[in-house]
Structure 1
Amino acid sequence: MVSIKDVAQVAGVSVSTVSHVINETRFVAPLTKQRVIEAIKNLGFQPSMMARALKVKRTNIIGMLVSSSSNPFFADVVRGVEEGCYQHNFSLILCNSGHQPDRQLANLTTLLQRRIDALLVMTTKTDPALYDQLSKLGKLPKAILDSAPHPNACTLQDDSVLGGRIATKHLIDRGLTKIGCLMGPDDHPRSIERLQGFKTAMEAAHLPINENWLAAGMLTASGGYEAMKQILALETRPDAIFAFNDLMAMGAYRAVQEQGLSIPQDMSIVGYDDVEYASYMSPALTTIKQPSFELGLSAAETLISHLEEKTEMPPVVQLVPELIMRNSVKH
C-alpha cells in the first residue's frame, strides 16, 4: 500500500511538504506542488480523509435528515443537494427516519459522530424534540428545507402562499367557482400557507368558501384518495379541487374515477409540486411547479459557501412557484 513517505521520496520533498499540498495548510512553491501532485497521481496514492479532516478541522461532509425519501418531491430535492455537493467536492450522508421521531434523533446522533460540517433537515411534520436538539448544536451550520423555520438555521422554501393563490386563481379564471381543497395535516407549515393562498384568492374573487369541501389527510396518494372520497360522499359537491401536492392529486384521480366521474368534465383538479409522473397521469395533471431540484441545490450551495467563503447564512431563501398547465382543468 502506497504511503505518504513513498510520495515524498518520489517527489524529492519532505513528508510535511506532501501533507501541506494535500491539506492546503501552507503555501508550497508551484513547481514543488506540481511534483507532489504528479507523484500522487503516478503512485495512485489515496490520502486518508479522516487524517485530512483532523488537520484542517473539516470533513467536507454534509449530513441530511429526511422523514421520507420515497416521496418524489423529496427525492428531487435530495438530487439537487447531491448535485451541489458533487460540484464542490463534498460528500452527502442521507438518513431517512421513516416518519419515526426516535429514529430521527438517533440519525442525528449518528451524523454528529461522523463529524459532519453542516446539517440539512427536511421533514413533513415538525418534531419539537428534534428542533430542541437543533438548538443545542451550537455553531454547526444548519438549513431547514420545506419545513417549519428554526431560529438558528437558514430556511429554504417555495412561496406556498403565492402558489396556493396561483392554483386557485387558475381554477377561477377557467370559470370554476365551487372549489374545494385536499389539505395536508393541520400542523404542516406548507399546508397552512397553501390554504392561506387559497382563501386569499377566493376572497379576492368574492367567492364563498364551503368548509365541507376542505378535507385534510396525509400528503400521500392514500391520503388524497380518502379525503376525496369524503368530499364525493357529500350531497353537494364542488366542481374543482386544489390538492396540496401531486400525490394527493393522484389519490383524488382514483376516487373520482371510481365514482364513474370524468376529469376534467365532472371534476377539475390542480396539484402542487410538478413531480415527474404528473405529466403521465391521465389526463395530464395541471399543477404548481415547486422548484424542488433548485431548492436542494440552493441549500447545498448556501451551506458550502458559508463553510468555504465565510458568507453570512440568510435567515430565509424563498423560491417562486409557477403554474404548469396541462389537461386536468375544464375550460
Structure 2
Amino acid sequence: MAKIKEVAQLANVSISTVSHVVNGTRYVSPKTKEQVQAAIATLGYKANSAARALKAGSFQTIAMLVERSTNPFFSEVVQAFEEVCFNEGFLLTISICDGHEERQVEQMKFLQARGADGYAILLESISGGLAKLLRNENQTPTIALDSGEYEDIPSFKDNSFLGGQIAARHFAELGRRRILVLAGPERHSRMMDRLSGFQQEWSMNGFDVDDVRIVHSPLTFSAGFKATMNAGTKLAKVDGVMALCDALAIGSMAAISQLGRQVPEEIAVIGYDNIEMSKYTSPTLTTVSQSASRFGRAAAEAIISNIKGENTGTSDQLVQPRLLKRGSTAT
C-alpha cells in the first residue's frame, strides 16, 4: 500500500500539503490540489482512517461477542474483521463466552453497559436470552457472523446447505460410498445445514443413507481425532470422511494415519472452511472454502457501512462456498 510520503514525492509537495488535501483541513490551491489528487490516483493511496481517528481521539467502537473455541476459523474471521475496523478508524473490543445462555446474556449486558456503536456476534448459536437483549438494542447496528439466524438480527454466513451438497457430489465423483460424517454440535445451525445438504444430495444420487455414519462432536482437532479413533473397527468399512469443519478433518487425518490407513488411497477426506493450516497438512486437505478472511472483511464492511448510515438494510447475506480440491481426495 502506498504511503503519504510517496504521494508527496510524486506530486512534488510536502507531506502536510497532502494531508490537508486528503482531510480538507486547510485551503490548497486548485492546481496543487489537482497534482496531489493525480498522485493519489496513480499510487492507489488510501488515507489511514485509524491514524486520523487516533489523532483526533474519535475512535468509534464495535463490540464483538465471540465463542470460546480452538477452531482456527473463528480466529481468522476475527483477525480479518479487526483489520477492516482499524483501517476504517474503528476500535474492536472482544468479549469471549461459551455457548451457555446465562454466559451469553451476562457478557452482552456488560458490553451494552459500556456502550458501542455496533455489535458483532460470532457464536455457534444465539440463545433466546441474547436475542432478546439484542432486539431491545435495536437502535444500535448489529450483525451475526456465522451464528445462525434469529428474527430481527441480520446475519452474515455461508450457504452451508450448498456446501454440504458440494461435498457429497465430490464423494460421488470419487466413487466413495461409505462415509463417516463428523458433524459438529447438533445445536450448531450451520453444521446442521451442511449435514442436510449432504444428505439430500446423497439421496438424490441414489445412494443409501445407511452407508453414511454421523458423529456429533465439538469443533476441535482433538474431537476429530477422538471420533475417528472411536470408530475403531468400523473405520475398516469407511472409504470417505466428511468433516464439517477443517479442524475436525485435520484431527481425523491424524487418527486415520495412526490406525494404519492411507489418505486418500483408502479413505478420502473433505474438510470445510479452508483455514490456513489446511494448505500445509500431509496430504493437503481438500475443503469446501468459505474463506475466513473474505468472510470477516465483508462482514466488517457491512456493519461499518450500516453504522455510517450508508446502508441501513437488515437482510441476511450469504457467502457462496466452493470446493478446493487438494491431496486428501486426489486420485
Deviates more, 1:269-278 or 1:82-91: 82-91
Give a deviation string over 1:194-253, Cα, whole Å, max 9, x none: 111111221121000127611111111122122223433328622101100011111211
Instruction: Give unmatched runs, 5+ long, in structure 1.
Output: 1-23, 33-44, 50-58
Question: Are 1:265 and 2:265 counterparts?
Answer: yes
Structure 1 residue aligned with 2:97: 97
Instruction: Find the residue that maps to 2:329 and give its secondary structure.
Output: coil
What letter matches 2:224 in structure 1? G
> Aligned equivalents of 2:249 and 2:235: distance in 1?
22
CA contact (8 A) 2:70 2:220 kept: no
What letter matches 1:131 in structure 2? A
Question: Are 1:278 and 2:262 counterparts?
Answer: no
CA contact (8 A) 1:303 1:313 kept: no
Instruction: Give unmatched runs, 5+ long, in structure 2.
Output: 1-22, 29-53
> Aligned equivalents of 1:158 and 1:243: distance in 2?
16
1:160–1:303 Cα change, 3 Å: same
Give a deviation string over 1:62-97, Cα, whole Å, max 9, x none: 111101264210111112211221232111111111
> Aligned equivalents of 2:56 and 2:126: distance in 1?
40
Question: Are 1:295 and 2:298 counterparts?
Answer: no
What letter matches 2:261 in structure 1? L
| TM-score with structure 1 setting the length | 0.79
Structure 2 residue aligned with 1:197: 197
Instruction: Find the residue that maps to 2:327 and give its secondary structure.
Output: coil
How do 1:1-331 residues align onto structure 2 when only pairs under 5 Å count?
31=27, 47-49=56-58, 60-68=60-68, 70-99=70-99, 101-210=101-210, 213-234=213-234, 237-331=237-331
CA contact (8 A) 1:69 1:96 kept: no
Percent identity of equivalent pairs: 28
Using the TM superposition, give the Cα deviation of residue 282 of structure 1 relative to its aligned residue in structure 2, in angstroms.
1.2
Give a deviation string over 1:96-116, Cα, whole Å, max 9, x none: 114454443333223223320
Larger radius of gyration: 1
1:301–1:235 Cα change, 3 Å: closer
> Aligned equivalents of 1:203 and 1:187: distance in 2?
24
| TM-score with structure 2 setting the length | 0.79
> Aligned equivalents of 2:27 and 2:252: distance in 1?
66
Matched pairs, number: 284
> Aligned equivalents of 2:329 and 2:301: distance in 1?
37
What letter matches 2:234 in structure 1? L
What letter matches 1:78 in structure 2? V
What letter matches 2:267 in structure 1? M
> Aligned equivalents of 2:101 and 2:90: distance in 1?
27
> Aligned equivalents of 2:130 and 2:253: distance in 1?
35
Give a deviation string over 1:128-171, Cα, whole Å, max 9, x none: 22222222213111100111212222100011111111111111
> Aligned equivalents of 2:185 and 2:298: distance in 1?
27
Deviates more, 1:87-96 or 1:228-237: 228-237
CA contact (8 A) 2:273 2:287 kept: yes
> Aligned equivalents of 1:47 and 1:299: distance in 2?
26
Instruction: Find the residue that maps to 2:288 and give its secondary structure.
Output: strand
> Aligned equivalents of 1:204 and 1:303: distance in 2?
38
CA contact (8 A) 1:215 1:228 kept: no
CA contact (8 A) 2:104 2:127 kept: no
> Aligned equivalents of 1:208 and 1:161: distance in 2?
19
